Chain A
Amino acid sequence: MTKSMKKLHKPTRRDALKTLALGATGAAAATSLPLWARYASAQSAEPIRVGFQVHRTGIGAAYGRWYDRTTTAAAELINENGGINGRPVEIIAEDDGTDPKRGAEVVEKFANQHNCDIGFGTLFSHVVIGSAPRAGELKLPYFVVSEGHHVASGMLNRYTLQPGITDVKSQVQAMAPFVASNLGKKVTMIFPDFAFGHDHRDYFTAAIEAQGGEVLEHIAIPPTETSFTKYFPKIPRDTEVIYHVMVGPAVLTFVKELGEFFGPNRPEMFGFIDSLEAVDIGSPGLEFLDGTYFWEGNPRYAQADQSEHDAFFRERVGVDANGASVSDPKDVSTYAHMFGCWETLHVVKAGMESAGYQGTGDRAKLIEAVEAMTDMPHSQAHPQGAKLFNGKTHQVFGHQYITKVTDGKLLLVHTTSIEDTLYPDEVDYTTQSL
């Protein structure tokens, strides 16, 4: 290896092509290749086909659009740096309509028609859960970017992994120490009455109790509700913190009516940015949120101590310092989630290179290589922050960010440790056969 590396620095055409044919130069070697040699590699090698299951239509379309941009940017970067094992990455996108039935069909299409090496990029939990059984049966490595607890819960299978984004259970439980110490211990939770809301209800209630706090009232809002005022009298008077995770188009109405209900004397408020992903925080009606706190997977606004990796990530994806598209300041990104696509593709690259991945026959080796990963340092490949991957549960853990709405921007006030997000393993996928 050392010998061939030395040769690459003073290449003859024959030597360089011989090295490329061996296909074992790895990422470091690939980035050290002269530019002409990178192109020679890309042109001569069969691409790595990444089946991108994207929500282009349906309820997930706003997320899907930004997942698409991030994935495209990550693939371009990987290709500029020599691809994976000297082979270019080709993104083959298929719309799943944010529908689990279509999602499963798309997975079949990736495996059986496009001959993809992996499936990748699914966000909405119901699409992941509907698609994962087929991915497992087809033995197609399925890298999801969903933040659902479904992977780590043991519900899915050995071929489904979530190495680029943390799950809701770890996110929620990591919020409890901050809420209890800084905002109050008597909490009222307002959440949508379906699985996403139930996850918050269950995980946060347990976590705040572990901090010596309590949830005074759980207020579940039916998913078809369009007006919320009638639920607010249920909020106990001694509530110190309102924890809210409303999602969907009604969220603006929810905030407006909550503001009208409380007036200037509101309790502290803590929410998940999922409610306002792709929504301008300065939108009319959201003034009431000023001074309230949010969980963010990745801070939307570039912070004063912004890392070079975040700056690089923004530039490559085309996002400005306010978290909006550089070409349209009104086009707000889904910044708290979309880094997951970028990081996942880099994990795939690292896994394939570690496994010496050559083709679909090496899919099992890829799974084992990713399972063997642990520490993922804060870097260009992981711009959101350092991470710790658990190969048994197929779930990654990482820092969480808490921001405060200040003068129409979300400013960082707290970063959790990775340890705050850990919980006991609920499954060991490595015991399942490949």
Chain B
Amino acid sequence: MSISTKSLGLHLGLLAVLFVLQFVLPAYHHGNIARIMVLASYAIGFNILFGYTGLLSLGHALFFAAGMYGMGLVVNQFGLPPFSALLVGLLVGGLVALALGLLALRTEGVAFMIVTLMFAQAGYLTVLYFGEYTRGDEGFVIQQAERVMWGIDLSDPTNRYFAALVIFGVSLLVTLKLVQTPFGKVLIAIRENEERARMLGYDVFLHKLAAVVLSGVISAFAGASYGLLFGYVGASFASVQYSIFPLLWVLLGGAGTVLGPFVGTLFMFYLIDLSSGITSAYMLIAGVTLVALTLFAPQGFVGELRKRVWRWLP
């Protein structure tokens, strides 16, 4: 069996398991997994830039929120149907990512991190500034009637689960395909040695810019979907906390692995969910776990799996 067949089988297998879980999970975990799949899509978007291209952005909440507000505002202000609104969310996310990429990619390393962080903070303050439309920090509700796409009510738990599965499946398979294409391999080459990639004749800036836009569009896709599936659009999703979350999820799961973002999001979600039932200092537990993982499994769960067992993992 070829590596690409094995790889495709593994990823389709995960999607099949998630499909089956829809029918067997208790209500609470059913809702959680739907949420995790959408958030994992956000982490997948982040991973394209961080894990595969080697660019650490601290401002990805800007893209997530651009998708969420791009979708939410056109529903709220103009009454656009959900699918058109979703496309608007993607478009806004893509344009914001293009603009940010053109400016931020003039820098690198720590400066890139700071510039992306600043842009995200500017985005957050923009949401507050236009409070008349965005309702500022309070945010607004996407009503149930506005969340019916092609006759499918996305507020229904089963429909929401399947919608989340489609969103996650698309993000996962696009990434899987991407890392197997020459374009994806160039991104990895840039991550490993940017100068060498440039010397080989690749336009590094253009490749990085494309990675920023693709990463931004997938993050915006997750943001728009999250608003649509869970009925709320709010400024907290544009805050710095939501720029740090995908970094944690990806580091935990394994940067530069296709499955890592999902595993990391799943682990972190349940770590917080379970530990918050024990102590109000649950972020301390999360912090200690992260430190322990950094020390003992620096490549994350899937990264370690690739290092020790399945070396063919993409």
CA distance A196 to B125 in the complex (A): 15
**Interface residues, chain B, CB within 8 Å of chain A?**
26-28, 31-32, 35, 125, 128-129, 131-132, 135-142, 144, 155, 157, 230-232, 234-237, 241, 272-273, 276-277, 280, 282-283
Q: Is A290 an interface position by the 8 A CB rule?
A: no
Tell me which residues from 43 to 58 in chain A have a Cβ below 8 Å from any Cβ of chain B.
56-57
A150 pairs with B138, CB closer than 8 A: yes
Q: Is A167 an interface position by the 8 A CB rule?
A: no
In the complex, which of the residues B231, B241, B273, B283 contacts A105, with contact meaning CB atoms closer than 8 Å?
B273
CA distance A144 to B155 in the complex (A): 22
Over the window 198-234 of chain A, the binary record of Cβ atoms lying under 8 Å from chain B Cβ atoms (1 yes, 0 no) is: 1000000000000000000000001110000000000
With A100-B232, A195-B135 known, 4 other A-B pairs at CB within 8 A are: A112-B27, A130-B232, A155-B140, A196-B138
- How many A-B pairs with Cβ below 8 Å? 94
Can you report 20 residue pairs joining A to B where beta carbons are below 8 Å apart? A102-B272, A108-B32, A112-B28, A113-B26, A126-B234, A126-B235, A126-B236, A129-B140, A129-B141, A130-B139, A132-B141, A133-B144, A134-B230, A136-B144, A137-B155, A137-B157, A193-B131, A194-B128, A194-B136, A198-B136
B136 pairs with A195, CB closer than 8 A: yes
Q: Name the A residues within 8 Å of B277 (CB-CB).
A: 94
**Interface residues, chain A, CB within 8 Å of chain B?**
56-57, 94-95, 99-102, 104-105, 108-109, 111-113, 125-126, 129-130, 132-134, 136-137, 148, 150, 155-157, 193-196, 198, 222-224
Q: Name the B residues within 8 Å of A99 (CB-CB).
A: 236, 241
Across the two chains, which residue of chain A brings its CB closest to B280?
A56
In the complex, which of the residues B137, B273, B282 contacts A195, with contact meaning CB atoms closer than 8 Å?
B137
Chain B contact residues, majority secondary structure: helix
Q: Name the B residues within 8 Å of A104 (CB-CB).
A: 230, 232
Q: Name the A residues within 8 Å of B236 (CB-CB).
A: 99-101, 126, 130
CA distance A61 to B131 in the complex (A): 25
Q: Name the A residues within 8 Å of B132 (CB-CB).
A: 198
CA distance A148 to B27 in the complex (A): 30
A108 pairs with B235, CB closer than 8 A: no
Q: Name the A residues within 8 Å of B237 (CB-CB).
A: 101
In the complex, which of the residues B128, B141, B142 contacts A223, with contact meaning CB atoms closer than 8 Å?
B128
B230 pairs with A133, CB closer than 8 A: yes
B137 pairs with A194, CB closer than 8 A: yes
B131 pairs with A112, CB closer than 8 A: no
In the complex, which of the residues B27, B131, B144, B155 contacts A194, with contact meaning CB atoms closer than 8 Å?
B131
A193 pairs with B31, CB closer than 8 A: no
Q: Name the A residues within 8 Å of B231 (CB-CB).
A: 133-134, 137
Q: Name the B residues within 8 Å of A132 (CB-CB).
A: 141
Across the two chains, which residue of chain A brings its CB closest to B276?
A95
Decide yes or no: A105 and B35 within 8 Å by CB, A112-B26, A112-B27 being known contacts: yes
CA distance A133 to B230 in the complex (A): 7
Q: Name the A residues within 8 Å of B35 (CB-CB).
A: 105
Question: Distance in Å from the Cβ of A167 to the closest Cβ of chain B?
Answer: 13
Across the two chains, which residue of chain A brings its CB closest to B132?
A198
Q: Name the B residues within 8 Å of A130 (CB-CB).
A: 139, 232, 234, 236
Q: Name the B residues within 8 Å of A112 (CB-CB).
A: 26-28, 31
Q: Name the A residues within 8 Å of B27 (CB-CB).
A: 111-112
Q: Name the B residues within 8 Å of A111 (CB-CB).
A: 27
The winner among A94, A111, A112, A223 for most chain B CB atoms within 10 A is A112
Q: Name the B residues within 8 Å of A137 (CB-CB).
A: 144, 155, 157, 231
B125 pairs with A126, CB closer than 8 A: no
Q: Name the A residues within 8 Å of B276 (CB-CB).
A: 94-95
Across the two chains, which residue of chain B brings its CB closest to A132?
B141
B141 pairs with A95, CB closer than 8 A: no
Q: Name the A residues within 8 Å of B129 (CB-CB).
A: 193
Question: Distance in Å from the Cβ of A382 to the closest Cβ of chain B?
Answer: 28
A129 pairs with B138, CB closer than 8 A: yes
CA distance A100 to B230 in the complex (A): 11
Question: Distance in Å from the Cβ of B311 to the closest Cβ of chain A?
Answer: 37
